[in-house]
Structure 1
Amino acid sequence: MTMAGLNLIQQALSIYDSDLRLAVCNRRFQEVFDLPEWLVTPGVSFEDTIRFQVTRGEYGPVDDVEEAIRARVDVARAFRPHYMERTRSNGQTISVEGSPLPEGGWVTVYTDITRTKQQEALLRARSEELSDQLLTYSEELSAANRQLQATITALEEAQRQLTASEARMRLTTEMMPAHIAHIGPDRRYTYSNRRLGEVIPGLPSVIVGLTMKEVMGHEGFAPIHDRLEDAFAGTESVFEFTHEPSSRRIRAAFTPDGGQGGVYVMSTDVTEEAQTRAALQQTRRREIAAQLTSGMAHDFSNLLTIILGLQAKLRRMDLPDEAAALISATISAARRGGRLLNRIGDMTGEREHEPRPISLPAFLRDLETLALSTLPDGVQFAINNLCDTTAYRLDAGMLQGSLLNLVLNARDACGETGRITLSARCLRDTWLEFTVTDTGPGFSEQALEHALEPFFTTKGGEGSGLGLAMVYDMTKLAGGQVQLSNTDTGGRVTIRLPLRRAEADAAPGMVLLVEDSPDLRGTIRDMLRADGHSVVEAASATEALALVRELPEISAILSDISLGGGETGLDLLDALPPGHCPASLMTSLPPDDPLYRAAAARAPVLRKPFSAAELTALLGAGAAP
């Protein structure tokens, strides 16, 4: 309908976008300039059109064709309003009036003024024959023209100020780390600061003229459809939703535009904020659970201890033979209750999420070794690592415990034969995703709904119901997500952790190893040498300080917290000279020990026992700037 209207007007019209490519033109544009069909096809460049006209002689004789083309393209690229009149090579005179568009590009109207110019020439030729009355009219017209010119000058100044104001406003909106837009009553975008693709990766940035559903797709638009309709009805809202195609968490604000009947939209990416918020919420839940269970667990532990003691006395008494079986069953149940209390303590006890740079291939190799030792011969295990070799910031202990728990659950589901697959992939630069699939019977509908809840189990008396609950707890503590589902061949559990890339591992160097146990020192020395480091050793803080002074080429220090002779790794840190190389600590102390807390505030701490991958990650973190 719009094109039909444009084709009815007598002026030629063309619109080029910000890339100097034809967006639309009417039929009169092609007729006036006698252009071939390919030059009036949307997408053709302005430069091609000018080249065609210059070489055909549209602008008269030209000495340097390329220079003439470049000059006209440069003028067009300036996007300034302009008006000019020119006589074509065929004698026709046209006026050219161009105006820039708010989103870039410009619209130009070409008017045939040949007859008007001929009449003006005739009027000038016969000016001597004009009557006094006509001269008077001419003087009045000149005065009116002068007044009009003054008005035009004032309007041009107002336009200049308005343009400058619009430019400042546009620059401000484009610099904001958010997508700002306006949607008109017809549900189509009328304005955008072109940052939608940065806020939600995968979506276009040039969206003016499109509907939100066209831009976001059906899956992405579904969560916000009702909110948008409420905004058009006059209800403003601020809400969060997950854009599933990009896995981003988005905070959107819809504000009704009472003047034009549209809606203002502001969208920001709060993925990292949501991940951090989830981790903090889980930490708080753990604290509350610990407060509720610590006292109860203490009392139950005492009761179980009494029960075990009494059963031991009963076993020593001269009782009928059938009593022995009952006593054994009671002792077994009490011990199982003790193990259950210990697992509850692990879930609710103090546990810090401590991400460190981890080489994912090395981490998965260690995990494979541990997993294979727990599987029967008939169960195959495969790891499919689709991530690059970049190091990631992960809590290796938490993740290893979670994945081993899932592998053991998958083993129980498979029985004596089957296949378990662990896959790792980077999901849209937002999540690091680990998926464990098996060829067992899959999850029941009840398990899909409740399996992540504490004490839910499908193993009867053999299960505690805390395995998946612990996986959920550890994952949420990291700000991640856990999803249960079924495949065509079995069950599937997916863990998503916030994707945080880490600095590359430090280059091998000379490491000062401070450990008072010779056997343990030898084991750690082998790990360091396997990574390419050279190693010098000390058994005390005093010996270590002497080596630091004598060997300036030492690039890193790794010391136990508890050393012989009453010294500690903290004493060593206190005595090191200013500007010393990076220092890290290791310990078997629990996290709630005061010495552990003091050490963690001073330097990176690695808990024993640790793997070679964890040691490599610790030294890499200590060397990172």
Structure 2
Amino acid sequence: MSNPVETAAQNEAREPAGADVSRDRLDLLQAALDHINQGFSVFDANLELVGWNRRLFELLDFPRHLARRGTHIEAFLRVNAERGEYGEGDVDALIARRVERARLFEPHTFERVRPDGQVVLISGAPLPAGGFVTTYTDITREREHQATLERTVAERTRQLRQSEDWLRLVTDNIPALVAYLGPGPVYRFANRRYAKWFDQTVESIIGKSAEEVIGPDLYPEIGPQIEKAFRGHAVAYEYSRARPDGRLAHMRSTLIPDRTLDGRTLGCFVLSLDATDQKRSETALAHAQRMEAVGQLTGGLAHDFNNLLTIIIGNVLALRRKAEAPAMPDLTAHLDPIFQAAQRGTDLTRRLLVFARGDAPDMKPVRLAALIANIEALLSKSLPRTIAWRCDLRDTEVVARADAGELENALVNLVLNARDAMPDGGEIALTLTRRTLTEAEADRAGVAPGAYAEILVSDTGVGMSDAVRRQAFDPFFSTKPFGTGSGLGLPTVYGFARRAGGGIAIDSAPGKGTDIRLLLPALGPETPTEDPADVSASATGKGELILLVDDDADVANVVRDQLCDLGYTVLVTGDTGDALDLVRDVDDIRAVLSDIVMPGQLSGLALVREVHRLRPGLPVALMSGYRQGPNRETGQGTGQGTGPGEARAGCPVLSKPFTTRMLAKTVSGILAS
């Protein structure tokens, strides 16, 4: 379906034939928008229309000739002004004021009553690159219903004030939260729903102050509304509060003053309606939902990538062992960066799966000085000779809770961004300190006051303008030439900082370089941290025969060599049928090590069941390039959901890629079990 005015033929006349796929996708999106029961519009930074749906024009009675890209917002405002929707006054002045207000690109939510009595809720939010997206909802029936309900509650409350039983009967059956506040303000009445909402009973809430019932977190927001109602004004407002099950609920409340004939305010009636479903519908347009297909695609990609990394890491480890010979003393210096890069590739696949499936990052206490020292050589060697590098670890004991892989990736992103900002050379400095932020300093970085580890990356490059600095953390925003920057570097760092409970701030000006401060909440220096150097030496084999099953010959060769170097004898097959024959016929096989995913054959889990049927008690371990198994519905994958590194079938799972030490620990473990 095309948009309300332009036909598919008109679009085709303007676009090249190569754009058919993109146009089809746009048409599909337009068709989806046209089925939404809310008006929808998107204006760019120039206040020109770039997106809309049919409901916008039906709801607000706009002329259809305005439904084209490039229509300025002034044209829509003029239609409204000329038919009196903005009240009396000079039309041009009314339009000018609203255009000026639109240019501020501020979030806005308000209701407008049209001349025909229709009530429209208008909610808009700014876009990262300028402009704004707005939704329009017809809430006339809801307001009429609410007004009727308010009148009903007010009338019934006055009539039945002396008859508590009748009052309770009525209000307890109204699908709303109803209460009455007397001077104080204190509660004189509340229906069952209202009392339960604030964890009270209809008996316990009577006589309590509003501040005590509503609570210290919410009362600063609601208290001013109550004060206004006691001054004789009807008040409508919205607020949010967590339900007992942890879900956030949105409430829309109205306070109606209880006034005498001579104008005195005796109290106020409270009416609250649950607006959670409506809020959920509104936010559905602003937030894209993760799709299961994306997770499956990313999982498959990660599996293949992890197989490649297994080959790289296995061969690098073999070369490192040979490099220990006196005749090749310099080879290790070249192999270490390759090994570190492969390990970072492992972290990358894990982060892809975190994004696609929503898995939590691996947050652990990290000694930051040690982590930075481990990657300093990589950082310094990534810089050209025209750029000087300085690393100042002023606090070597500071500890923060973070995902070490994500932190390394964040630092690499920051340093490479600084490098790209100095095409003619300069200096990059990385400084680690522990700081206690004041309230003003913390507010600027968007964090709470307290102790933080600050990682400062400074450069003497071209700097940023205010406009660029404000958009630096927007996804896909980049000042680099097309094809040289993804626009995801700084957004990735920003996301990492927020997940770690910290923040990030930029100080920059054109021609004066850039300072980027990464702030992570500091833990006490006594917090235990993991140190890879403390891991005990891996066990070695004594010639035990291991059956290795993997349909990827390159992966199988690497794992075979690692097992042989550990002292095991290895049989290799890429066919699960052959593997079962060998298990049945070769009694000397002491253990089986199999990949999980082997397209066109038995899966590793099915192979485990068959092996246990043929030879109960024969130890089996699995290998997988998935962080979570491919069959998440049954839980039969890598088993990450049933225990650390253990599949539901009871077998240890070795996540690809792995080091020789990890392989030795897994194999020696199953042989000893």
TM-score using structure 2 length: 0.31
Structure index of larger Rg: 1
Greater helix content: 1
